[in-house]
Amino acid sequence: MQFVLREIFVNAENTGVIAIPAEYGDWNPPADYTNQTFQELNARYGYLPAQGEPIFNTLKPLCRKMTQLVELQADDNEMAYKLMVLLCEPEDLLDADKCLKQISERFVKISQQVQKGTPYHDAFVTILHSFPTATDAKNIKEWRQFILKKDVGFTGLPFFADCKSFKSVPETLKKAQTAQLAKRYYRATENIEFAEFCKSNLIDNEGFEAGLNFISQCGWPVKTEDNLPVVDIKLIDKNTNTEYRWVKLPPDDLRALYLGKMIPGCCQFINGHSRQCVIDGITLADNGFYVLLKKKIKKTAKECKEEEVSGFLDGEIVAQSYA
């Protein structure tokens, strides 16, 4: 890592091609690496005039440096093309220095800042989502302005990827989120946060509306504590670095509405056959739920410390019991 960083940031004579020593072999391109040309990418996406090819050829090796610094490797050919589309104004394509400077400054401006305690290379991690064609985007200039807004940045890329379904470019990130959720949940605007929760847990519109109706009528959470005994049993499978944890689900955990959706073949969810079990577990003092959580861990069994049995419990729910 130090070698690569030094070559990128210190070696002023480097024109973009890094000669990686043999002992750093994992930095080399994969065996199936293909060198896509500007013409090939432009035929696929259709955004840029032919004058953009020299800038693409200059930008590509710079993107190679960036992609070599992340575990989830992006394709530097695609990255160069997409950065040109997203961050460079068409009128600046005739001035290579101005265009590259514009791309560089805008990339830094809208990239997420590295937080304390995270690896330095996280500053380079950016996922350029499934890229629409110029025909689907309709108005790339307005989408570019949307992405360049201070509170949007790369978080706006998923909406740009879905631009074909938008009637117009959203004015704000909030409006983009609302518009996209409304396509999945017809009543999403009544409770955006709950709609986001349901989307993240792959709940369909019928399930969303059943949960929404319950929350609207009864509020959330209905109770903050109950009389069920606290249970917290943890087992670590050292062979697979997997932690299993059997624990009482906190009364304010929205997953209580859809535990059956998280386990194949179970009907215990708010619009399922065991709806009454769900309601009783959420509302009554002597009723509730226990769940078996599964997650991958990096720590050893000795390093793992007990977590508080409150708040959001981390892990995939692979089994549950109504109590």
Domain membership of residue 274 (yes or no) is yes
Distance CA 40, CA 27 (A): 25
Domain membership of residue 254 (yes or no) is yes
| Model pLDDT, residue 35 | 81
Q: Which of 277, 143, 290, 271 is nearest to 204 (CA)?
A: 271
A 10 A CB-CB count for 103 gives 20
Domain boundary pick from 89, 124, 159: 124
Residue 16 has pLDDT above 50, yes or no: yes
pLDDT digits (tens, 9 = 90+) for 40-94: 999 999 999 999 999 999 888 777 766 665 555 567 788 889 999 999 998 888 8
Domain boundary pick from 95, 124, 153: 124
Domain membership of residue 310 (yes or no) is yes
Structural domain range at position 96? 2-124
Domain membership of residue 214 (yes or no) is no
Give the count of domains, the chain. 2
**Quick one: what percent of the chain has pLDDT higher than 90?**
51
Q: Which residue has the higher pLDDT, 173 or 21?
A: 173
Domain membership of residue 269 (yes or no) is yes
Domain membership of residue 199 (yes or no) is no
Q: Which of 157, 170, 166 is nearest to 85 (CA)?
A: 157
Distance CA 193, CA 189 (A): 9
**Given pLDDT bands bounded at 50, 70 and 90, which one contains residue 310?**
very low
Average pLDDT over residues 311-322: 84
Domain boundary pick from 72, 93, 124: 124
Average pLDDT over residues 179-206: 91
